[in-house]
Amino acid sequence: MSATHQPEEPCVLIVEDDDGAREALSDCLEMEGFSVASARNGREALDYLHNSVAPKVILLDLFMPVMTGWEFRAAQKQDAAIADIPVVVVTAFGAAVTKQIDATLILHKPLDLDRLLTVIRDYC
């Protein structure tokens, strides 16, 4: 299964199962001039990373069907070709849930767009 959207040289890969949330976030970033790829779950994201130009940063939801954010991150870290791509976890859940994941940064929903753009600009 392919990712839902695949520009040739993406800056950001959004991994989010909720169609509305994924599309809204993608629209926001594209309006700010960033190229965006997206995937609906961790499996789609891995497939994308194995077959496409690597993004500068990954925005990762945690609770997703097929492959969760935790499972994606574990698989990513085991693959040297993609292990170093920074991962920003985006979640509504607190430390009780997020403490098990090794992420570059954790941003909480509702996602402050200004804060996110500041983070993205550091990578892109």
Partner 1 sequence: MDTSDGQAELEIEKLELQEAVAALQHDLDAVERLWSDKLVVSSPANLLLSKAQLLGFFRAGLIRLKSFERRVQRVVVDREMAVTTGSDTFVSLIGADAGKTIFCSYMNCWSRENGAWKLLGRHAAIVGKMKADGTFEAASD
Residues forming contacts to partner 1 in the complex (CB under 8 A) are: 17-25, 27-28, 31, 63, 92, 109-114
Nearest to 23 by CA among 40, 45, 11: 40
Output 51 or 65, the one with its CB closest to partner 1.
65
Output 9 or 112, the one with its CB closest to partner 1.
112
Q: Tell the smallest beta-carbon distance from residue 17 to partner 1 (Å).
A: 7
User: Distance between CA atoms of 1 and 11, rounded to whole angstroms?
Assistant: 21
User: Distance between CA atoms of 97 and 77, rounded to whole angstroms?
Assistant: 19
Q: Tell the smallest beta-carbon distance from residue 41 to partner 1 (Å).
A: 13
